[in-house]
């Protein structure tokens, strides 16, 4: 059946290249037809708009009877995507897989996952907490990530401007979805900045949630 696998993957790559409307691309990275890179633009009207997302595609021996293995190469701030590894939590990549699904249809599903997060079934619990407790803050952090990692334009209205050229640099606190005030509050006590950011992120020290967290609990975590 490995012939069938090769035939099918080649056909999928061909078909995808022919299709100009979907904006989905699938390309080989080396000579291996079973290790591919897929890419698609961030869906409009989301924090990911304007970004360009690359996905690592590994085709198992048993494809298409077993699901394809996919993970984001581009860093994404999203409840169903690990912010560290790019691992994705999506039903069709697991038990809802069907052999008739294709690489392209799976990439389209990833695109719509960016549009509609499923925070009840998170891959990244910290991001999901942020998403659930402070939506505005989440959106702004996701935008920062899109700009920093997915080449999304900094100001949407200015269209062509890319990268951070000439604009205010995004701080590490903002990238973690934390307010500068919260971070400096603990940094001023003498703790190291990366440690403060990691602890506050883990504790979801954001927005209204700050009032639920005892300062001593934060200190306890920082001492660990």
Report, as residue numbers or ranges, the catalytic residues.
Answer: 89
Q: Could you tell me the sign of the dihedral formed by the alpha carbons of 207, 212, 213, 216, in that order? A: positive
Task: Give the C-alpha separation, 105 to 221, whole Å.
Answer: 44
According to CB under 8 A, which residues from 134 to 153 bind other proteins?
none
Interface stretch with other proteins, choices 32-40, 58-66, 70-78, 187-195 (CB under 8 A): 58-66
Provide, rounded to whole angstroms, the least separation between the CB of residue 150 and other proteins: 29
* Residue among 2, 19, 65, 215 that touches other proteins (CB under 8 A): 65
Q: C-beta of 186: minimal distance to other proteins in Å?
A: 15
Pairing mode of beta strands 69-72, 35-41 = unpaired
**Inter-residue long-range contacts of 203-208, CB under 8 Å, 24+ positions, other chains counted:** 204/126, 204/129, 204/130, 204/133, 205/178, 206/130, 206/133, 206/134, 206/137, 206/177, 206/178, 206/179, 206/182, 207/133, 207/134, 207/136, 207/137, 208/133, 208/134
Q: Classify 22 as helix, strand or coil.
A: coil
With respect to other proteins, which residue has the nearer C-beta, 7 or 202?
Answer: 7
Q: Which is nearer to other proteins, 9 or 183 (CB)?
A: 9
In angstroms, the CA 87 to CA 113 distance is: 13
Q: How far apart are CA 149 and CA 169, in angstroms?
A: 14
Closest to other proteins by CB, 45 or 95: 95
Among 41, 42, 47, 64, indicate the residue that binds other proteins (CB under 8 A): 64
Select from 19, 91, 215, 220 the one that contacts other proteins (CB under 8 A): 220
4 φ/ψ angles, rounded to the nearest 5 degrees = -65, -40
List the x/- string, 4-33, binding to other proteins by CB under 8 A: x--xx--x----------------------
Q: How far is the CB of 149 from other proteins (least distance, A)?
A: 31
Here's the x/- map for other proteins, 163-202, by CB under 8 A: it reads as: ----------------------------------------
Burial class from Cβ neighbours inside 10 Å (0-12, 13-18, 19+) for residue 213 reads: middle
Residues 86-125, mask of contacts with other proteins (x by CB under 8 A):
------x---x-xxxx------------------------
Binding residues (CB under 8 A) for other proteins: these are: 1, 4, 7-8, 11, 62, 64-66, 92, 96, 98-101, 219-220, 223
């Amino acid at each position: 059946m490995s012939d069938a696998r090769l035939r099918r993957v080649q056909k999928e790559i061909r078909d995808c290249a022919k299709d100009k409307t979907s904006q989905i691309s699938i390309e080989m990275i080396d000579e291996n037809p079973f290790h591919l890179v897929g890419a698609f633009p961030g869906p409009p009207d989301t924090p990911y708009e304007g970004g360009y997302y690359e996905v690592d595609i590994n085709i198992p021996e048993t494809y298409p009877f077993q699901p394809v293995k996919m993970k984001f190469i581009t860093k994404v701030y999203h409840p169903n995507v690990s912010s560290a590894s790019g691992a994705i939590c999506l039903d069709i990549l697991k038990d809802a897989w069907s052999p008739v699904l294709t690489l392209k249809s799976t990439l389209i599903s990833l695109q719509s996952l960016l549009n509609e997060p499923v925070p009840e079934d998170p891959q990244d619990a910290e991001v999901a907490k942020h998403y659930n407790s402070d939506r505005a803050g989440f959106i702004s952090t996701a935008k920062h990530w899109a700009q920093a990692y997915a080449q999304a334009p900094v100001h949407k209205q200015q269209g062509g401007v890319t990268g951070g050229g000439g604009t205010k640099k995004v701080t590490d606190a903002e990238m973690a979805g934390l307010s500068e005030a919260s971070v400096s509050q603990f940094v001023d006590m003498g703790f190291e900045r990366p440690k403060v950011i990691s602890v506050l992120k883990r504790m979801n020290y954001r927005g209204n949630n700050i009032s639920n967290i005892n300062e001593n609990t934060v200190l306890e975590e920082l001492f660990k």
